[in-house]
């Protein structure tokens, strides 16, 4: 099966997401029949099975989504969405910052920068029960958390500060940066949930 994965390339960790998805596809034996590429315009979404919304600066990404006329095309995108850090903020129905025009695709309330500023960034090993093997080494950079979730949203991991990983149907939202590690288990789980 040919797989097309787009990475929203307006701001943030774009190349890291491309590399991580290529590695995940390689590990699942689908590299040869797959394509991972940058998405900047609505037409770029045509034929995509999945879209990654990377970490970055959530207010900037929100503004650029509107500027590039991507808001409605992403909201109506029929494929899966893999969102990290700022991407998690954008997926929420409620955000603690009125400057952000969130996509409202996962019923949750998200607090931006819940762990503090850049200097409070940290790493932690998360024993995510849905992943086999060792705990997932997560990198948190000015990370958000979900404080309230709606019906049907599955919590993959919760810390004292709040929820840092969720799934909702064909969507996965993470407050940390799995694309910065060599561990592709969350990318692989996302693809498996889409039937890829």
Catalytic residues, by residue number, are 85, 177, 179
Query: Do residues 41 and 85 touch, judged by C-beta distance below 8 A?
Result: no
Angle at which helix 14-27 crosses helix 185-193, to 10 degrees, equals 70
Closest CA to 166 of 179, 177, 153, 178: 153
Interior CA angle at 138 toward 136 and 144, to 5°? 130
Q: How far apart are CA 50 and CA 52, in angstroms?
A: 7
| Residues near 49 by beta carbon (within 8 Å), at least 6 away in sequence | 3, 4, 5, 79, 80, 194, 196
Query: Do residues 71 and 101 touch, judged by C-beta distance below 8 A?
Result: yes
Interior CA angle at 60 toward 44 and 91, to 5°? 65
């Amino acid at each position: 099966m040919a797989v097309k994965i787009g990475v929203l390339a307006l701001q943030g960790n774009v190349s890291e997401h491309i590399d991580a998805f290529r590695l995940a596809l390689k590990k699942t034996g689908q590299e040869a029949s797959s394509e991972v590429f940058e998405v900047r315009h609505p037409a770029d979404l045509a034929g995509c099975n999945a879209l990654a919304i990377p970490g970055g600066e959530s207010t900037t990404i929100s503004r650029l989504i509107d500027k590039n006329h991507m808001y409605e095309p992403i909201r109506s995108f029929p494929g899966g969405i893999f969102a990290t850090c700022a991407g998690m903020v954008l997926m929420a129905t409620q955000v603690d910052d009125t400057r952000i025009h969130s996509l409202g695709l996962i019923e949750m309330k998200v607090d931006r920068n819940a762990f503090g500023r850049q200097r409070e960034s940290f790493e932690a090993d998360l024993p995510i029960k849905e992943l086999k093997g060792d705990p997932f080494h997560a990198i948190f950079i000015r990370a958000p958390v979900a404080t309230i979730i709606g019906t049907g949203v599955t919590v993959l991991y919760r810390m004292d500060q709040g929820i840092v990983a969720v799934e909702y149907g064909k969507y996965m939202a993470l407050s940390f940066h799995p694309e910065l590690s060599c561990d592709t288990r969350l990318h692989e789980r996302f693809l498996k949930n889409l039937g890829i």
